[in-house]
Structure 1
Amino acid sequence: MVTSQNPAPAYRDQRVRRATLAAAIVTAITLALVLNANVTRVHAAGAFSSLRSPGEAAFIAGHRGDKTVAPENTLQALGQALNSAADYVETDVQLTADGVPVLMHDWTVDRTTNGTGPVWNYSYEELSALDAGSWFGEEFAGATVPSLEEFLNLLRWSTKNAILELKGSWTDEQVGLIADLIARHGVSDHVMIGSFDIMTLQALQRVSPELPGMLIVRDIVGDPGALAAAAGAVALVTSKKAITQDPELVERVHDAGLGILIYTLNDSETWSDAVSLGVDGIVTDRPAELGQWIAQEFTDPDNLPFAKGVHAAG
């Protein structure tokens, strides 16, 4: 493994970043996809051009692809989600030791590959040689850790959009690398950038302000508008706990002109709760199942009050 100076985001400085985040808040969020090269697509930011009302169908974001049918963040799982009812595919981006953006959630490769150690200790060549599928099932033996470029090459032929979560803290130069790849593949209108790190989203605003940013926060305290403004974000992504403890949170976020997504909801009870509060999007490990649930809930005559004002997004 490469052990030279690490060009990847500063994962090990998270305590410092959290302190900076707190200060900023106080002061101010394939596979079977080629249908038609000229197919009509919906602009990613259009998901928030008309915010949901309580009872309207939320859009679906497949969490790390479709984790129920294939190993997470592989092209197989991402392709399944892109070919499902999901409006968005959510995935995680990190940098290898030689600066190649790859799709991996954990800081280390241990859980989802046959390798060990931090992602940033591997060159892209070393990382792509790992088996990222056998842990999920023998039929996925040999699946690899995809590069972001491989995923964007899938996305460009799809009708769907993507949410790219940049893991850790990113510099302007590193964010610029992501923005350049997105532009090169012609999908700038179909990608949103998410991060827990305010300074990463601030870098996005400096480098590529046309890409919409979303701030991911486990809890939203205080004014959501000020929180999003600190990051230049168009939406907040938060937890089920946040809206359960504060049922008026969704209304306050919408009043600030922001979108709101909830993660990671995987059953009909939580889907129903989220929709009843008017969330704009639901991040789920079960995009196909959520799509079926929405189709049933919003076409069944017995659920007419629930289906008031339904519109598709994405």
Structure 2
Amino acid sequence: MQLWAHRGSGKGELENTLKGFEIALNSGFKAVEFDVMLTADGVPMIHHDWVMGRCARSVDPAMAATDPLTRFDSLRARDLRHYSVQGEPIPSLAQTIQFCLEHGMRANVELKATHPANAIALGRAVKVAVEELPADQQHHICENWVFSSFYHASLLPLKGYDLALLYEQLPDHWALHADALQASAIHLHWSGAEPTALRRIHTTGRLVRVYTVNDAEQAKTLQALGVKGLFTDRMTL
């Protein structure tokens, strides 16, 4: 069973930063999960929340009070220079891809559309970022990386890559969606990873990975049920 470092070094701990990914690497992780969103000018950047303030805050303390009122997708890529995550810059998808490739890390790229209108645009931007790479690096990503999303339209431009559908609880028509996108895996919240749901997925030959698991005993139980991957905030799980 593979462990994936959730947002790098975990939620709230330099999450979705190159420094956070370095912490995960130095903690022995071979795989990392991160979130990608589009800026107002269409640049894929690594960030989780739809609004500023929790993950990334204004560098200028006088502006910090307005952070919760500022949507990520209202900012241009150059505007993000005025924000930091505990002193670390918000990285671009291109920078993060290079970090992972240089350090031999597998990646789960979670596409986070901010509204239905930009879901497909986000998928296209991620695809472009990958296809701008040299052929050998593209091949490595195609063979080793996973692209996942709650917003399944975001994955349409990425058909042909290794795709996973994200759910909190397994819905009735999940298999239709998975078949349509040729998804190889389902990613479930731990609360939805009960034996019946896992059996339903496994009977279709798909892998199951579970988020976000921070308890060692829970991890052992899920492994015994055939779960193939866990996303965790704990660097010592």
Deviation at 1:243, TM superposition (A): 2.0
Q: Distance in 2 between matches of 1:224 and 1:273?
A: 24
| Equivalent residue in structure 2 for 1:270, among 214, 218, 226 | 218
1:147 alignment counterpart: 92
Q: 1:194 to 1:159 in 2, by over 3 A?
A: same
Q: Distance in 1 between matches of 2:25 and 2:131?
A: 20
1:187-210 CA distance string (max 9 Å, x none): 4233211100122222322xxx2x
1:236 alignment counterpart: 186
1:251-290, aligned counterparts within 5 Å?
Answer: 251-286=199-234, 288-290=235-237
**Amino acid paired to 1:59:** Q
1:99-137 CA distance string (max 9 Å, x none): 11111110011112223111111111111231221xxxx
Give SS of 2:8's match: coil
Give SS of 1:81's match: helix
1:122 alignment counterpart: 75
1:167 alignment counterpart: 112
Deviation at 1:172, TM superposition (A): 4.3
Q: Distance in 2 between matches of 1:155 and 1:79?
A: 9
Contact 2:150 2:167 in 1 (8 A): yes
Deviation at 1:175, TM superposition (A): 1.9
Contact 2:211 2:230 in 1 (8 A): yes
Contact 1:60 1:85 in 2 (8 A): no
2:63 alignment counterpart: none
Is 1:101 the equivalent of 2:55? no
1:210-241 CA distance string (max 9 Å, x none): x1111001111336533411333111000111
Q: 1:219 to 1:70 in 2, by over 3 A?
A: closer
Contact 2:43 2:125 in 1 (8 A): no
**Amino acid paired to 1:91:** F
| Equivalent residue in structure 2 for 1:202, among 135, 156, 160 | 156
What TM-score, normalized by structure 2, do the two folds share?
0.84
Deviation at 1:69, TM superposition (A): 9.1
1:64-83, aligned counterparts within 5 Å?
Answer: 64-67=7-10, 70-83=13-26
**How many correspondences in the alignment?**
218
1:193 alignment counterpart: 147
Higher strand share: 2
1:75-94 CA distance string (max 9 Å, x none): 11112223433232100000
Larger radius of gyration: 1
What's the RMSD between the two structures over aligned residues?
Answer: 2.0
Q: Which runs of 5+ in 2 are unaligned?
A: 59-66
Deviation at 1:154, TM superposition (A): 0.5
Q: Which runs of 5+ in 1 are unaligned?
A: 1-57, 134-140, 291-314
What TM-score, normalized by structure 1, do the two folds share?
0.65
Q: Select the structure with the greater relative contact order (CA < 8 A; seq sep ≥ 6).
A: 1
Q: 1:128 to 1:166 in 2, by over 3 A?
A: same
Give SS of 2:102's match: coil
Q: Distance in 1 between matches of 2:73 and 2:11?
A: 27
